[in-house]
Amino acid sequence: MMKQEYKLQNTYAALFLIHVILAYIANVYALGDPASIISIPQGKVQGTHQKAYSGRIYTAFEGIPYAKPPVGDLRFEEPVPVDKWDSILVASNNYMCMSFLPFPMIYGPKGTEDCLYVYVYVPRENVTGKENLEVVVHIHGGAFMMGSPQFMAGPSFIMDKEVVYVSFNYRLAILGFLSTEDEVVPGNNGLKDQSLAMKWIKDNIKYFGGNPESITLTGLSAGAASVHYHYLSPRSKGLFHRGFSQSGTALQPWALTENPLAKAKMVATTLNCTTESTKSMTQCLKKVPAKQLILAMKSLFVFMDFVPFTTFGPVVEKGGKNPFISEPPYKLLKEGKVYDVPWVVSNTRHEGLIPAGMIATMQTLSDLDKRWNEIGSFVLDINDTVAATDQMDVITKVRKYYLKDEAITNDNIYSLVDLFSDRVYKLPCEKAIRAHVAAVKSPVYYYFFTYILEMQSPIFHGIKPGSAHSDDGRILFPIIGTPPILKENDEKMMKHFTGFAEAYAKTNKPSFNNVEWKPVDPESRDINYLEIASPDDISMKKFKELGPNEFWDSLPIIENEKLF
């Protein structure tokens, strides 16, 4: 089932199994007994009781449809609001949108095409609808290619706070982000799913005790980039009141897909679908079983079945009557076309452990080293943004800058981590902060997470611990494999993060452990930031730059400001 190039060891497979078992153990939080019945305009919904981290009983409404199933003729179409239902909907189901998972033990197409559901969690045993609590909404990550709330955004930590928590599914990969670069399939259906879910929340959350005039939109990684996109899209204006992006913005290289039609045609050719016209190609792709469609995306991967990281993602739309975005994100920021509400954005110190740590754990560093000249442009996500004649020069310069003349091995894994941290996460984030703060009057806050979790993820087995991409997310909305009982310092940090989320939602001003958090000053080149080094070491600092901007700006990568 797995490709030989993976060279997976039994140890890694066993560790991943532990990951799944821990998630199963965590289900002790789910009591499952019937709870409140809520009436909403679509029909009646019954929840179930679950336990928060502290043992507090809360009510979960899991799996409420917000759109018609995007199947058959509705595949590749904009989401359509759900119809009413007659009987009581027992909301006790979790869904994962169809996607390709490149991991051992769960390799291949997983999920369902009928997946557009929301999950509402209320910190009460009995929900009356009169609670009027602040609402925290989370968009899960996964490179726009995979993921689900069930596995990437658990409620058990945040339900110890006085907020209503909501998460939702959105279409992923080719099913959510196919674009024919015209009116046939303009693209961004996954983001349009998100906007429709947000509208459903705005319209219905009052019935669950949430305040529709106080909605905090949060997201991790691709979810974080999605949050930033909602600041830039007229379709989302007014649907939230403040935002929080953990390790992602609309300016990340993986957050904008170039040449989507060419990628669509490659998949279509793999499936023997015609590419003579976008209409006939799309009609053919609509008839292909979902699993075959997802498997056909493998024709675009060049390394480990997940490089390039985002083969289908957000695009600048070139057709349609109501685009999500019709201009590049950087241009929208520079022109001030930004929803003006507060924004919190962040990075971790060792963001690049994803993917560098995964490559090392899967025993493929030697393959990356040997094949650098062949696949480096895809690994650096420049294959569509650097002229073909310049790509070898760019990947050679990047390798020389970070790795000198050394081979890529476990011994210098953190040189590779730094490369990915700068290119994939930190420098685009800095660019987004500077452009965003210049475009709005509302405050922008930034934190830098350097704390190393006591719980180390099994996917980084044998690697020196670091502050990895998504580690700060794991202690706010638990990701699969987060242990049901945290060690002392991780628990303290978790309480800081849930306290921050609650305070930000209630006051519009974020804080950690009572430290005064200064916003970014638009008049200064230095950026104020909150460094979170440990539960007892949180302080304000400043930086001039997050990484070697001069080096990266010298390279002919045509993205963001270089598009103009």
Q: Is the dihedral of CA 197, 199, 203, 207 positive or negative?
A: positive
pLDDT band with cut points at 50, 70 and 90 for residue 26: very low
pLDDT tens track for 473-517: 999 999 988 888 999 999 999 999 999 999 999 999 999 999 999
Residue 26: CB atoms within 10 Å: 18
Instruction: Report the pLDDT value the prediction gives residue 71, as an integer from 0 to 100.
Output: 98
The active-site residue out of 195, 221, 245, 421 is 221
Minimum mean pLDDT range among 251-265, 350-364, 494-508: 350-364
pLDDT band with cut points at 50, 70 and 90 for residue 16: very low
With left for phi above 0 and alpha for psi between -120 and 50, is residue 513 left, alpha or beta? left
Q: Is 351 a catalytic site residue?
A: yes
pLDDT tens track for 264-304: 999 999 999 999 999 999 999 999 999 999 999 999 999 98
Q: Is 221 a catalytic site residue?
A: yes
Minimum mean pLDDT range among 13-22, 296-305, 498-507, 545-554: 13-22
Structure tokens at 114: 């009928």
Structure tokens at 157: 């930590």
In this prediction the pTM is 0.94
- Whether the Cβ atoms of residue 303 and residue 355 lie closer than 8 Å to each other: no
Structure tokens at 203: 């319209």
Tell the residue number behind the tokens 């029909």, with chain if given. Answer: 43
Statement: residue 132 has pLDDT above 70: yes
Task: Tell me the average pLDDT across 303-330.
Answer: 94
Instruction: Report the pLDDT value the prediction gives residue 458, as an integer from 0 to 100.
Output: 59
HEC string of 240-300?
A: CCEEEEECCCCCCHHHCCCCHHHHHHHHHHHCCCCCCCHHHHHHHHHHCCHHHHHHHHHHH
CA distances from 179 to 189, 291, 309, 385, 418 (A): 9, 19, 17, 18, 33
Q: Is 488 a catalytic site residue?
A: no
Mean confidence (pLDDT) of the chain:
93
pLDDT band with cut points at 50, 70 and 90 for residue 3: very low
Structure tokens at 280: 């006939």
pLDDT tens track for 396-415: 999 999 999 999 999 999 99
Instruction: Report the pLDDT value the prediction gives residue 30, as an integer from 0 to 100.
Output: 56
The active-site residue out of 113, 351, 430, 559 is 351
Residue 107, SS3 per DSSP:
coil
The active-site residue out of 469, 470, 496, 502 is 469
Residue 512, strand partner residues: 515
Statement: residue 23 has pLDDT above 50: no
Sequence letter at residue 387: A
Task: Tell me the average pLDDT across 89-116.
Answer: 91
Report the alpha-carbon distance of residue 246 to residue 473 in Å, rounded. 7
pLDDT tens track for 43-79: 999 999 999 999 999 999 999 999 999 999 999 999 9
Report the alpha-carbon distance of residue 459 to residue 463 in Å, rounded. 9
Task: Tell me the average pLDDT across 433-453.
Answer: 98
- Whether the Cβ atoms of residue 445 and residue 530 lie closer than 8 Å to each other: yes
- The answer, yes or no, to whether the previous bond of 308 is cis (omega within 30 of 0) is yes
Residues near 49 by beta carbon (within 8 Å), at least 6 away in sequence: 31, 32, 33, 34, 35, 57, 58, 59, 60, 125
